[in-house]
Structure 1
Amino acid sequence: MTPSLFILTGSGISAESGLGTFRDTDGIWAKFDWQELASPEGFAEDPIAVHEFYNLRRKGLLDASHNAAHTALARLEAAWIRLGGKFSLVTQNIDDLHERAGSERLIHMHGELLKSRCNACGDLQDCRSDLAITQSCTACGREGTLRPHVVWFGEIPIGMEEIADRLATVTHFAAIGTSGAVWPAAGFAQEAARNGAETWELALDPGESGHNFAFSRYGKATQTVPFWCEEILKRAFG
């Protein structure tokens, strides 16, 4: 069987780049109300506050840099494909640090902070500056319809059909820097294991779905991920 690697990443892989995690005791949702800032209802109620929140996060992202864990995964992707394997990287992160490190086969299941989307016509645009309710969509011309291209609570993640297809044939699965608490991503490891995949958890501490993993490596991503990348290549290709 052709080695097929599926990697799921969460906010833990970007934490060492200075970007906040979400569900830790000092994470983003411990400081802010997700119902007000990360839901369609919150945006409808107070779009100015939502835009201010994401404008600040966008500025923080533009000042950040990818780290050794992002770089290691990009190199793993290139090596895995060169050796004839199938490779998938799915991230719950809305940052672009994987791309900056060189990753190419990537699905942003929760959207991308550096893009805007029109609620009226669905047009997507690159966005590296502030959004405001006074702006108009360049595609349809309507004012006040632009929003961050981010999947909010209550919305369907992006690329779920493609993700399901890839999980069906996976031989090796790894969850990196994710709490295992957010669905549907929290169920990916169980699905991979059900399909016979070797499953790995790489995180600071065991996540909520740790029972679904056969192997684990705990510690900072910049320390564990590069070594794991070498290890998984040897396990898959000898």
Structure 2
Amino acid sequence: MDTLINNLDLFVSGFRNTLILFFFSAIFALILGTAVGAMRVSPVPIMRGVGTVYVNLVRNTPLTLIMFFFAFGYPKLGLIPWPYEVLAIIALSLYTATYVAEVLRSGFNTVPVGQAEAARAIGLPFAQTMTLVVMPQAMRAVIPPMMSVFIALLKNTTVAAGFSVAEAGSIRANLSERGEPAIVVLLWVAAIFVLLVGLLSLLQRYLERRWKVLR
């Protein structure tokens, strides 16, 4: 307990930054992933092709390599300079969006084809068919795998520690400079991550119960 109490400032700031990375990355990944998932089932071949190329290219690229590009490659392009924290959010969002898209695509496939055909029969275009008919039903079916994606995102935020982002993954290195035992620090970091994952699991069960009643 002394390691935690005596260095509470570093633990608080580190996990605060972790939650900031997670929150904004989750929002942007959900928005982008929803758009890409819709493209993957679009009747327009070009949209399906773009969605497929994006998912296969980014998902099969290691997150560390994507983070490396935004930390060291992006500044050399002469574009708008962003802080490392913002670049880390962009990298995490682009990477996680591919998994969100695939989860949603599987959810779209659980909706009976007749639902979409009926929507088109009454004159709804593809965009309205997806947002008003297919997506509300699909979202209820993908809660467990979607929460697994967000749990993975929470843990993936530690990769940002290797690129000058002061979050939970950097606590061990900072406390080593204060002479704290590394194994104790790592155990505390792991325990807090377990607590955060447990909260996400509780949120998952709550949403499952609530949406099960709505269905």
- Normalized against structure 1, the TM-score is what? 0.22
Q: Which has the higher contact order (CA 8 A, sep 6+)?
A: 2
**Between structures 1 and 2, the one with greater helix share:** 2
Q: TM-score, normalised by structure 2?
A: 0.23
Greater strand share, structure number: 1
Bigger Rg, which one = 2
